[in-house]
Protein backbone atom coordinates (compact mmCIF):
# COMPACT_ATOMS: atom_id res chain seq x y z
CA UNK A 1 0.00 0.00 0.00
CA UNK A 2 1.31 3.43 -0.89
CA UNK A 3 1.94 5.84 1.95
CA UNK A 4 -0.39 8.51 0.57
CA UNK A 5 -3.14 5.93 0.27
CA UNK A 6 -2.46 4.71 3.79
CA UNK A 7 -2.56 8.23 5.20
CA UNK A 8 -5.89 8.78 3.50
CA UNK A 9 -7.31 5.75 5.26
CA UNK A 10 -5.76 6.79 8.58
CA UNK A 11 -7.46 10.16 8.24
CA UNK A 12 -10.74 8.33 7.84
CA UNK A 13 -10.25 6.56 11.14
CA UNK A 14 -8.76 3.34 9.84
CA UNK A 15 -5.65 1.81 11.31
CA UNK A 16 -3.05 -0.22 9.52
CA UNK A 17 -3.12 -3.93 10.07
CA UNK A 18 -0.57 -6.62 9.30
CA UNK A 19 -2.15 -9.95 8.50
CA UNK A 20 -0.06 -12.80 9.75
CA UNK A 21 -0.18 -16.54 9.55
CA UNK A 22 1.15 -18.65 12.37
CA UNK A 23 1.94 -22.30 11.97
CA UNK A 24 2.02 -24.38 15.12
CA UNK A 25 -1.06 -26.29 16.21
CA UNK A 26 -2.55 -26.00 12.76
CA UNK A 27 -2.50 -22.78 10.77
CA UNK A 28 -3.79 -19.61 12.39
CA UNK A 29 -4.41 -16.16 11.00
CA UNK A 30 -4.72 -12.86 12.71
CA UNK A 31 -4.25 -9.17 12.11
CA UNK A 32 -1.94 -7.13 14.31
CA UNK A 33 -1.12 -3.47 14.56
CA UNK A 34 2.64 -3.88 14.47
CA UNK A 35 5.21 -6.62 14.19
CA UNK A 36 6.17 -8.30 17.41
CA UNK A 37 9.35 -9.95 18.56
CA UNK A 38 7.65 -13.13 19.67
CA UNK A 39 4.43 -14.74 18.56
CA UNK A 40 2.74 -17.25 20.78
CA UNK A 41 0.62 -20.06 19.44
CA UNK A 42 -2.99 -19.30 20.40
CA UNK A 43 -3.52 -22.94 21.29
CA UNK A 44 -0.42 -24.15 23.11
CA UNK A 45 1.11 -20.73 23.96
CA UNK A 46 4.52 -21.77 22.70
CA UNK A 47 6.53 -19.32 20.62
CA UNK A 48 5.89 -19.94 16.94
CA UNK A 49 7.04 -18.64 13.61
CA UNK A 50 4.79 -16.41 11.57
CA UNK A 51 4.61 -15.20 8.03
CA UNK A 52 3.28 -11.82 7.04
CA UNK A 53 0.70 -12.45 4.37
CA UNK A 54 -0.69 -8.99 3.73
CA UNK A 55 -0.91 -5.45 4.92
CA UNK A 56 -4.09 -3.41 4.97
CA UNK A 57 -6.32 -1.12 6.93
CA UNK A 58 -9.17 -1.89 9.26
CA UNK A 59 -11.55 -0.30 11.68
CA UNK A 60 -11.72 -3.43 13.81
CA UNK A 61 -9.88 -3.36 17.12
CA UNK A 62 -6.46 -4.98 16.89
CA UNK A 63 -5.21 -7.57 17.26
CA UNK A 64 -7.89 -9.45 15.38
CA UNK A 65 -8.95 -12.67 17.06
CA UNK A 66 -7.00 -15.73 15.92
CA UNK A 67 -8.73 -17.84 13.36
CA UNK A 68 -7.74 -21.38 12.70
CA UNK A 69 -7.62 -21.84 8.94
CA UNK A 70 -6.19 -25.35 8.96
CA UNK A 71 -6.37 -28.11 11.49
CA UNK A 72 -3.14 -29.53 12.82
CA UNK A 73 -1.63 -32.43 10.97
CA UNK A 74 -2.41 -35.83 12.38
CA UNK A 75 0.37 -37.08 14.64
CA UNK A 76 1.67 -39.52 12.02
CA UNK A 77 2.10 -36.84 9.35
CA UNK A 78 3.73 -34.48 11.84
CA UNK A 79 6.16 -37.23 12.74
CA UNK A 80 7.00 -37.73 9.06
CA UNK A 81 7.46 -34.00 8.51
CA UNK A 82 9.83 -33.78 11.43
CA UNK A 83 11.91 -36.68 10.19
CA UNK A 84 15.30 -35.45 9.20
CA UNK A 85 15.99 -35.42 5.50
CA UNK A 86 12.74 -36.92 4.32
CA UNK A 87 12.47 -34.30 1.60
CA UNK A 88 16.12 -34.54 0.56
CA UNK A 89 16.61 -35.69 -2.99
CA UNK A 90 18.70 -38.64 -1.86
CA UNK A 91 16.17 -39.90 0.62
CA UNK A 92 14.64 -43.22 -0.22
CA UNK A 93 12.72 -45.72 1.76
CA UNK A 94 14.66 -48.94 2.05
CA UNK A 95 12.79 -51.41 -0.11
CA UNK A 96 11.37 -54.30 1.79
CA UNK A 97 12.51 -57.68 0.59
CA UNK A 98 9.53 -59.35 -0.90
CA UNK A 99 9.23 -62.35 -3.16
CA UNK A 100 9.27 -61.44 -6.83
CA UNK A 101 6.02 -62.81 -8.11
CA UNK A 102 7.05 -62.32 -11.72
CA UNK A 103 10.36 -64.15 -11.49
CA UNK A 104 8.83 -67.60 -11.53
CA UNK A 105 6.81 -66.72 -14.63
CA UNK A 106 9.90 -65.31 -16.36
CA UNK A 107 11.74 -68.53 -15.59
CA UNK A 108 8.86 -70.58 -16.95
CA UNK A 109 8.87 -68.55 -20.19
CA UNK A 110 12.62 -69.00 -20.54
CA UNK A 111 12.25 -72.75 -20.03
CA UNK A 112 9.47 -72.90 -22.60
CA UNK A 113 11.68 -71.03 -25.07
CA UNK A 114 14.41 -73.59 -24.51
CA UNK A 115 11.98 -76.47 -25.14
CA UNK A 116 10.73 -74.91 -28.36
CA UNK A 117 14.23 -74.73 -29.72
CA UNK A 118 14.75 -71.06 -29.03
CA UNK A 119 18.45 -71.68 -28.65
CA UNK A 120 20.67 -71.48 -31.73
CA UNK A 121 21.51 -74.99 -32.87
ZN1 LIG B 1 0.86 -24.63 19.21
Note if the pTM is more than 0.85.
Answer: no
For residue range 58-94, list pLDDT tens digits in order: 999 999 999 999 888 777 777 777 777 666 676 666 7
For residue 69, how far is its CA from the centre of ligand 1 (angstroms)? 14
CA of 79 to the centre of ligand 1 (A): 15
Q: Hey, where are the domains in the chain?
A: 3-82
Whether residue 98 contacts residue 104, with contact meaning beta carbons closer than 8 Å, is answered with no
101 vs 117: CA distance, rounded Å? 26
Phi and psi angles of residue 107, each rounded to the nearest 5 degrees, phi first: -65, -40
Q: pLDDT tens digits for 33-49?
A: 999 999 999 999 999 99
106 Cα: distance to centroid of ligand 1 (angstroms): 55
Residue-averaged pLDDT of the chain: 84
Q: What is the pLDDT of residue 91?
A: 65
- What is the 74 CA–ligand 1 centroid distance (Å)? 14
Predicted confidence at residue 26, as pLDDT, reads 92
Amino acid sequence: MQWAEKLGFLALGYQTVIFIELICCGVWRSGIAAEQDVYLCPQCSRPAKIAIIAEGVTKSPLPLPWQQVEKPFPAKIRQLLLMEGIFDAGYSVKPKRQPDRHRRKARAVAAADGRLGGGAT
